[in-house]
């Protein structure tokens, strides 16, 4: 049973594991480590098939089917994506992706994978984290431990770098998010001191600014472009942006409404265009330093992570801000997964790594709505767990009744930094009965505990010790729910009629198993095991092969039943079987 680390990214995902004192990336059957975070659907006649990863991403250009991308952005929301006749939540799509990763990782490692350390953006809230865990559960993976992406990056960076004391700032600039983490390293401890970020600030915004500039240059109104044209222009801008990493200047061209349009970009132009974003970044930068109680001068290294960190203009801006060059880690795309892989080693208590301790913090304030006096229209947010508290965090507060003869108290839970409770993100509520007395004479104890994975548990107890608790976004799915989701997903990879056929084949093989004995029984047992592994492999080729072979062996077994004395098994069949196992 293996444990692996998975960077479940918005754009790409990848897996890593720990072995022989090192972290290694896990390639798929074609040797690729980066799997596009894409799910698609193709139709051949009546049949519909779901594709995951690279195959799905290829549908974008081939236009032979539908495909959904970037669904992680909407994790934990009600948004659904339509593929064919069905619609899926970001959680279900993530489950398909995780199952794909689990599949090729098992092939590569040659063992079952039971557990995964999954990375999530530091800014993921309770619901987004819970849904990530649920997705793993549906994919057949235990995900007891989630770690924050920038923390994973710090872990990857620091591992094997000795034990010198230093302060790091992880700058994780992705497609749609920016996460900054202030980290202190000493002995074998990697301590996240403070985090700050913006989940609506990323490389996509740069594409947007470039597109607006393109429009201005060509006397077009960005707002008035058709949605399809907007997307096309954004794609064009992204391509031009990436080219600026290696080329002095790039000429972007696109025909819009029959007119051929063009604009030239160079580094200085891009630098100017990005200025509004840089100002926001600077503010966040100062904010995280302030929360950590440090100044720029205290920083030993700034580590650039995420696809947008590859932009030379970003590096230039950071160099100006720091007064020195930031550190660019080898491959900005891989470092988060590598950190998750390192953590999988720690989690697996591998000899050569287990002593490292990684601590993390709560990225936002969590609290309950409270009132200062009777008649207050708007409640304020009473902070229970403050931003950047080290995890796990716990706090209990006693609250008293607000009205005379109040018989019930409802505790409303929010997340955020605003003064009035309602201006923050509402997470849920929990309610408890109280004895009706004069206002202020009856009380309840409210306890918040924010666990190491960033999942919040709230408990309320009244004076009679009656408890009521809420685990905010119901972290676990019930076995029945898991089964239901699993079946729904399975139905996608193999059409129903095929599943029915597989069940029939399996049943038949099991019958043979029951009535056989000795070596023959053992052999049929391993045939069943092999068949199950094949049809559950989530790989079309393997499924097809498992079914074909099972049919063939069953036919032989049937034939064999006719002349029991001379079992084929002892001759031809066994030879063939052995040969096949060898070939694999």
Q: Could you tell me the smallest distance in angstroms from the CB atom of residue 239 to ligand ADP?
A: 9
For 145, residues 6+ apart whose C-beta sits below 8 A from its C-beta are 117, 343, 347, 452, 453
Selection from ligand ADP, Mg ion, none that 190 binds (CB < 5 to 8 A by kind) is none
Q: Specify the residue, 5 or 9, whose C-beta has the smaller distance to Mg ion.
A: 9
Closest CA to 302 of 167, 194, 189, 196: 167
Of 19 and 242, which CB lies nearer to ligand ADP in the complex structure? 242
In the complex, the smallest distance separating the C-beta of residue 265 from ligand ADP, rounded to whole angstroms, is 12
Angle between helices 90-109 and 126-138 (to 10 degrees): 50
Smallest gap, in angstroms, from Cβ of residue 241 to ligand ADP?
Answer: 5
Question: Which tokens sit at 5?
Answer: 């680390």
Specify whether the CB–CB gap between 244 and 179 falls below 8 A: no
**Distance separating alpha carbons of residues 435 and 442, to the nearest angstrom:** 7
* Residue 311 contacts which entry, ligand ADP, Mg ion, none (Cβ below 5-8 A, type-dependent): ligand ADP
Site string for ligand ADP, 297-316 (x = CB under 6 A): ---------xxx-xx-----
Nearer to ligand ADP, 76 or 307 (CB): 307
Residue from 67, 139, 61, 145 nearest 105 by CA: 139
Rounded Cα–Cα distance for residues 191 and 165 (Å): 11
Residue 35 binding partner per list ligand ADP, Mg ion, none, with a CB distance cut-off of 5 to 8 Å that depends on partner kind: none
Query: Do 382 and 424 contact (CB within 8 A), yes or no?
Result: no
Q: Which is nearer to Mg ion, 177 or 475 (CB)?
A: 177
Site size with Mg ion, rule: CB under 5 A: 2
With a CB cutoff of 8 Å and minimum separation 6, the contacts of 517 are none
* Footprint of ligand ADP on 477-516 (CB under 6 A): none
Rounded-to-integer distance, Cα 336 and Cα 156, Å? 7
By CB under 6 A, how many residues form the interface with ligand ADP? 21
36 binds, options Mg ion, ligand ADP, none, Cβ within 5 to 8 A by partner type: none
What is the spatial distance between Cα 313 and Cα 271, in angstroms, rounded to a whole number? 6
Contacts with ligand ADP in 211-240 (CB under 6 A)?
238
Q: Does 203 bind Mg ion (CB under 5 A)?
A: no
| Site for Mg ion contains 9 (CB under 5 A) | yes
- Which of residues 307 and 454 has its CB atom nearest to ligand ADP in the complex? 307
Q: Which two tokens stand for residue 104?
A: 């090729």
Measured from the CB atom, the residue of 9 and 363 that comes closer to Mg ion is 9
SS3 content of the chain, % helix, strand, coil (to 5): 40, 30, 30
**Does residue 454 belong to the site contacting Mg ion (CB under 5 A)?**
no
DSSP-derived 3-state class of residue 35: strand
Does 197 help bind Mg ion (rule: CB under 5 A)?
Answer: no
Q: Which of 125, 52, 53, 81 is nearest to 493 (CA)?
A: 52
CB atoms within 10 A of CB 497: 10
CB of 91 to Mg ion, least distance (A): 18
Residues in region 150-209 near ligand ADP by CB under 6 A: 174-177, 202-204
The Cα 77–Cα 392 span in angstroms is 26
Residue 281: what are its φ and ψ, rounded to 5°? -60, -40
Min CB(336)–ligand ADP separation in Å: 7
> Binding string, 321-360, against ligand ADP, x = CB under 6 A?
------------x---------------------------
Provide, rounded to whole angstroms, the least separation between the CB of residue 69 and ligand ADP: 10
Nearer to ligand ADP among residue 307 and residue 534 (C-beta): 307
Cα–Cα distance for residue pair 419/379, rounded to 1 Å: 9
- Tell me how far apart the alpha carbons of residues 432 and 455 are, in angstroms, rounded to a whole number: 22
From the list 8-16, 312-320, 432-440, 533-541, the region that binds Mg ion by CB under 5 A is: 8-16
Q: How near is the Cβ of 155 to Mg ion at its closest, in Å?
A: 15
Check residue 11 for interaction with ligand ADP (CB under 6 A): yes
Over the window 161 to 180, marking each residue x when it contacts Mg ion by CB under 5 A and - when it does not, the resulting string is -------------x------
Q: For ligand ADP, give the closer residue by CB, 126 or 333.
A: 333
Site for ligand ADP in 237-256 (CB under 6 A): 238, 241-242, 245
The region that residue 303 occupies, defined by phi over 0 for left and psi between -120 and 50 for alpha, beta otherwise, is beta
Query: Using CB under 6 A as the criterion, which residues of the chain lie in contact with ligand ADP when the complex forms?
Result: 9-12, 174-177, 202-204, 238, 241-242, 245, 306-308, 310-311, 333
């Amino acid at each position: 049973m293996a444990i692996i680390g998975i960077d479940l990214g918005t754009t790409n995902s990848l897996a890593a594991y720990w072995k022989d004192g090192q972290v290694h990336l896990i390639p798929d059957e074609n040797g690729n480590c980066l799997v596009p975070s894409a799910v698609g659907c193709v139709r051949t006649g009546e049949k519909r098939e779901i594709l995951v990863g690279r195959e799905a991403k290829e549908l974008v250009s081939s236009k032979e089917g539908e495909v959904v991308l970037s669904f992680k952005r909407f994790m934990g929301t009600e948004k659904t994506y339509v593929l064919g006749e069905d619609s899926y939540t970001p959680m279900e799509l993530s489950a398909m992706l995780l199952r794909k990763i689990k599949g090729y990782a098992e092939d590569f490692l040659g063992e079952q994978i039971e557990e995964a350390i999954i990375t999530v953006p530091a800014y993921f809230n309770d619901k987004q984290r819970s849904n990530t865990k649920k997705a793993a559960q549906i994919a057949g993976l235990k995900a007891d431990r989630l770690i924050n992406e920038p923390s994973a990056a710090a872990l990857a960076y620091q591992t094997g770098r000795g034990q010198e004391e230093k302060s790091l700032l992880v700058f994780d600039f992705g497609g749609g998010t920016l996460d900054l983490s202030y980290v202190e390293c000493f002995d074998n401890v990697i301590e996240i001191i403070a985090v700050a970020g913006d989940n609506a600030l990323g490389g996509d915004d740069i594409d947007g600014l470039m597109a607006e500039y393109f429009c201005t240059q060509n006397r077009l109104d960005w707002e008035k472009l058709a949605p399809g044209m907007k997307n096309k222009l954004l794609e064009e801008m992204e391509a031009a942006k990436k080219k600026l990493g290696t080329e002095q200047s790039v000429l972007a061209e696109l025909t819009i409404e029959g007119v051929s349009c063009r604009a030239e970009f160079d580094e200085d132009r891009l630098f100017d265009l990005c200025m509004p974003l840089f100002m926001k970044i600077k503010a966040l930068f100062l904010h995280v330093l302030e929360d950590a109680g440090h100044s720029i001068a205290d920083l030993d290294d700034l580590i650039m992570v995420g696809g947008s960190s590859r932009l030379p203009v970003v590096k230039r801006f950071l160099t100006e801000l720091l007064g020195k060059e930031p550190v660019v880690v080898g491959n900005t795309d891989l470092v988060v997964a590598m950190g998750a892989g390192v953590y999988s080693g720690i989690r697996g208590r591998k000899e050569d790594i287990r002593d490292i301790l990684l601590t993390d913090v709560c990225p936002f304030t969590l609290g309950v709505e409270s009132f200062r006096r009777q008649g207050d229209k708007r409640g304020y947010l009473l902070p229970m767990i403050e931003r950047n508290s080290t995890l796990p965090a716990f706090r209990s507060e006693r609250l008293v009744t607000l009205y005379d003869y109040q018989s019930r108290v409802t505790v409303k839970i929010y997340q955020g930094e605003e003064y009035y409770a309602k201006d923050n993100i509402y997470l849920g509520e929990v309610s408890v009965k109280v004895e009706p007395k004069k206002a202020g004479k009856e009380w309840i104890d409210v306890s918040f505990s924010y666990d190491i994975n960033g999942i919040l548990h709230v408990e309320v107890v009244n004076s009679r010790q009656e408890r009521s608790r809420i685990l905010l976004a119901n972290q676990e799915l019930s076995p029945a729910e898991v089964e239901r989701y699993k079946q729904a997903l399975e139905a996608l990879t193999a059409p129903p009629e095929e599943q029915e056929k597989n069940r029939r084949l399996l049943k038949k093989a099991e019958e043979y198993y029951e009535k056989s004995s000795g070596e023959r029984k053992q052999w049929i047992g391993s045939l069943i095991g092999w068949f199950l592994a094949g049809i559950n492999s989530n790989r079309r080729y393997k499924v097809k092969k498992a079914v074909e072979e099972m049919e063939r062996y069953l036919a032989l077994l049937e034939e064999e039943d006719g002349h029991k004395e001379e079992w084929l098994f002892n001759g031809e069949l066994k030879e063939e079987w052995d040969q096949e196992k060898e070939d694999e």
